Amino acid sequence: MSRHHLHHPKLPLQGLTLLVLALLLALAFNALRPAPLPLTQGLAPIRAALAKAQGLLQLSPEEAKALLASGQAQFIDARDPATFKEGAIPGALNFGPGLTDPDLAARATALPTDRPLVVYCDGLGCELSRAMAERLQGLGLTEVRLLSEGLDGWLKAGGPLEFKP
């Protein structure tokens, strides 16, 4: 039996198809469970390591609450304006994802440079805060921090909300 008979061209494609189907089946089974396993909690250490590698410091919700109470930080909400109006960290400014580079640069000139800028969005699965933090760092702001668990973690830690008109 020659070597070329052992390698069938459709085997890698079939294997990949089976892997994708198994993953989809596992996700569906988890979603149908009475108490689904949380799929995003395992991302927290990965996101923290990635943020550290990118030079972004992360704050826990408790650390962020202490900064809010002391008035030593400016909070920046990276969610869209409509969501921001539904509830935000008190005193937060909305720097939504639709903000153009020139508008962001203009608004960034009013941000404090002597205290932390704490950027947040919805929760662990939200990447808007990281993108906004990187954009702010690109403008030369050095005190940029990420709220590690976003607004979800903030609320779980008993952080207050402010509703915007």
Q: What is the pLDDT of residues 10-39, one digit of tens each?
A: 766 676 566 556 655 655 555 555 555 555
Over residues 99-150, the pLDDT tens digits come to 999 999 999 999 999 999 999 999 888 899 999 999 999 999 999 999 999 9
pTM equals 0.68
Q: Do 122 and 132 meet the contact criterion of CB atoms below 8 Å apart?
A: no
Cα radius of gyration rounded to whole Å, the chain: 21
Q: Which residues contact 113 (CB under 8 A, 6 or more apart)?
A: 141, 142, 143
Alpha helices by DSSP H, the chain: 11-32, 43-53, 61-70, 81-85, 101-108, 128-138, 150-156
Q: Which residues contact 80 (CB under 8 A, 6 or more apart)?
A: 96, 97, 98
Over residues 66-105, the pLDDT tens digits come to 999 999 999 999 999 999 999 999 999 999 999 999 999 9
Which 3 state secondary structure label does DSSP give 120? Answer: strand
Count of CB atoms situated within 10 Å of the CB of 140: 9
